[in-house]
Amino acid sequence: MFFGKKMVLLVMFAGVCIFLIVGYAVGGMTIQLNNGKVIDVPVNKEDILSITFDNGLKSTGLITWNFETGDLKGWTKTGTAFDFQPTYGDNPTARHRGQPSNHQGQYWIGGYEKRPGPSDPAGQTQGDVPQGTLVSQSFKITQPFIDFLIGGGCDINKVRVELLIDGQVVYKTTGKCTETMAQVSWNVMQFVGKTSQVRLVDNSSGGWGHINFDELKFN
C-alpha cells in the first residue's frame, strides 16, 4: 500500500516537472478580454510573425474594403464609371470644390474624380457621364453591423450602395449631393452567416451622377 502511494507521488512529481520544463521552453501569451476573462495561449513569442484579428469578413479571396491597396482587389467592374478608381487624396479640394472628401487613409472611391495615383495631376475629373457598377466578391457576414462612408449623388434610384444577400438587395443607401462623405451604419444582425456582396451602382449621366465610398468596416 505504501509502495503504491509512493509510486503515485513520484508520477505526480514527474508530471509537474515536465509541465514546468515545457512551459519554460514554450512560453506563452496571456490575453485579457474586455469581459474579464483571461486566456493563456502556449506560444513562443519568437515564433510569432504577425497577429490578425477577425473583422467579421469571411470571403473567398482578399477584398480591399478601404482601398488602401491602391487598386480594386476583390471587386468586379461593369461599364466605365469606376475605370480610374480608387481615387488618391482629397481631389475635390484640389479642384477647389469646397467640399472635402472626408476620406480615410490615402485612397477611396470617388466617381467624379480622375486621380488614380499620386503621380497623376491633382484636380483632374472624369465627370458624371460614365455609368457602371462595382461589386465585391462574396463574403459571409459574421458581425451585426456594417459601417461605411458615402457621398456623391442623392438620387437613390440612380446612384447608390447596395447590400446583397444571396443575390437579393436588402439594403440600399445614397449620398446627400455633396462630395463630403458621411458615415452610414447597416444593422445586419438578421443576416449573420449569410452569403453577401456589396455593390456600388452608378446609372446616371446627369448632375451628381456619381457615388463616393470608403472605409467599409464590420463591427
Residue 32 C-alpha cell reads as: 485579457
Residue 45 has pLDDT above 90, yes or no: no
- Provide the pLDDT confidence category of residue 17 given band limits of 50, 70 and 90: very low
Are both 118 and 30 inside the same structural domain?
A: no
| Inside any domain, residue 211 | yes
Our count of domains for the chain comes to 2
Which residue is it, cell 457621364?
129
DSSP 99: -
Query: Is residue 98 domain-shared with residue 204, that is, in the same domain?
Result: yes
| Tens of pLDDT, residues 135-160 | 999 999 999 999 999 999 999 999 99
Residue 175 Cα to chain centre, angstroms: 20
pLDDT in tens, 104-139: 999 999 999 999 999 999 999 999 999 999 999 999
In a domain, 190, yes or no: yes
Residues sharing a CB contact under 8 Å with residue 5, sequence separation 6 or more, in sequence order: none
The C-alpha torsion from 58 through 61 and 65 to 71, rounded to 10°, is: 180
Terminal Cα distance for the chain, rounded: 61
* Claim to verify: residue 148 and residue 187 sit in the same structural domain: yes
Based on the fold, state whether residues 104 and 166 are members of the same structural domain: yes
CA gyration radius, the chain: 26
Instruction: Quote the domain boundaries for residue 17.
Output: 2-47
How far, in Å, CA of 124 to CA of 16, rounded?
Answer: 70
Contact 133, 183 (CB under 8 A): no
Mean of all residue pLDDT scores within the chain: 84
Coil, strand or helix at 56:
coil
Burial of 157 per CB tally in 10 Å (0-12, 13-18, 19+): exposed
